[in-house]
Amino acid sequence: MDIVGASGHHQRKACDKGDGAGPQKRAQVFEAVVDDQRGHRHDHGHSQGDQEDADNETDNAKGRQRHGWLWLVSGKAPFYLRFKACKPAQSAARFDRPGKELSTALVIDGKQALECPIIFSRRQPMQALEVLLNRVSVPRLVDPAPDAAQREIMFGAALRSPDHGQLKPYRFLTVEGSARERMGDLLVEALQQSGNEVTPQALEKARLGPLRAPLVVVVIACLQDHFKVPRKEQLITAGCAAHGVLLAAYALGVGAVWRTGDLSYAPQVAQGFGLAAGEEVIGFLYLGTPLNPPREAPKVDVGEFVSEWQG
């Protein structure tokens, strides 16, 4: 097990205890050590802190209680632990069910082994129906960005969108690192040239927008005149391709949210991204590691949206 990221000044380690579990068994044993006496806080480059985390981050005589993350790699899929309002503690536990939230005190072999709740993600991608029925947007994102293998899967899923005529009427641009700052400058320029009254706060919001995730994917619809496939259908296909990226991201444990707004469609933005005639931006996909566990999908009555037509 390799640690690929951790927040704050927590010092942690993780290991497979070698319990002999074969490939057919999902149970593994991990050990995590938390040591946070320094009381510092890192926000992974976010311009705004997480108010929820700040509210739960309280001082005490022995140190600071706080949230923290531990990211592990198991095979190709990400696996992470979230320590919530932990006191400095050492814990070791066997987990046999992904997505489980443990109680405030976990007892193993008659001893209290865990002093705080933890939430952990999938070690393997979810089944298709689970993804389709439970996908939600994850707006608060931090490093690391999806790796090369995860991107291959996500963009591969986009290529399977319904496509009348097999035109593949879309393409993607990835924006990360310092390019996100240049994207922010582009949005500011578009806002200044919009002809509307612009406040300093609005300019700052536009400039910092792309920094809200380690990876931004610009989704571009490539529309053409076609004797069989109208542009409207091509635009729908491009939207389905973007949705494919979001579904695959959710299955892999990657946080994602689709953002748009008036600036997405501004001509200055299209020019800045080098769009050709017939191309248009249909959205920005923000991708990264979830700062918080994904919320539960709201319950919706399917019957409210389905009715029978009888002529």
- 212 pLDDT higher than 70: yes
What is 156-209 written as a DSSP string? HHHTTS--TTS---EEEEEEETTHHHHHHHHHHHHHHTSSS---HHHHHHHHHG
pLDDT band, very low/low/confident/very high, at 125 (cuts 50, 70, 90): low
Count H helices, E strands: the chain? 7, 15
pLDDT digits (tens, 9 = 90+) for 278-305: 999 999 999 999 998 899 999 999 999 9
- 250 pLDDT higher than 50: yes
- 119 pLDDT higher than 80: no
- Distance between CA atoms of residues 249 and 155, nearest Å: 10
The percentage of the chain sitting over the pLDDT mark of 90, rounded to a whole number, equals 55
Residue written as token pair 């910092």: 208
- Give one word for 54, left, alpha or beta, with left for phi > 0 and alpha for psi -120 to 50: alpha
pLDDT at residue 30 in the model: 36
pLDDT at residue 244 in the model: 98
Greater confidence (102 vs 134) lies with: 134
Q: Any idea which of 51-65, 133-147, 262-276 has the lowest mean pLDDT?
A: 51-65
pTM over 0.85? The answer is: no
- 222 pLDDT higher than 60: yes
pLDDT at residue 6 in the model: 33
Q: What Rg do the C-alpha atoms of the chain give, in angstroms?
A: 22
- 106 pLDDT higher than 50: no
Greater confidence (75 vs 277) lies with: 277
Q: Where are the beta strands (DSSP E) in the chain?
A: 2-6, 28-34, 59-60, 63-64, 66-74, 77-86, 89-95, 106-108, 111-114, 118-120, 141-142, 170-176, 215-222, 255-259, 279-290
Taking all residues of the chain, what is their mean pLDDT, rounded to a whole number?
72
pLDDT at residue 197 in the model: 87
- 271 pLDDT higher than 60: yes
Question: What is the mean predicted confidence (pLDDT) over 53-65?
Answer: 33
The percentage of the chain sitting over the pLDDT mark of 70, rounded to a whole number, equals 59
Residue written as token pair 């300019």: 203
Nearest to residue 83, comparing CAs of 156, 122, 33, 134? 33
Tokens of 76: 């190709």
- 68 pLDDT higher than 80: no
Query: Which domains does the chain carry?
Result: 2-120 (no CATH), 128-290 (3.40.109.10)
- Distance between CA atoms of residues 149 and 127, nearest Å: 18
pLDDT band, very low/low/confident/very high, at 183 (cuts 50, 70, 90): very high
pLDDT band, very low/low/confident/very high, at 248 (cuts 50, 70, 90): very high
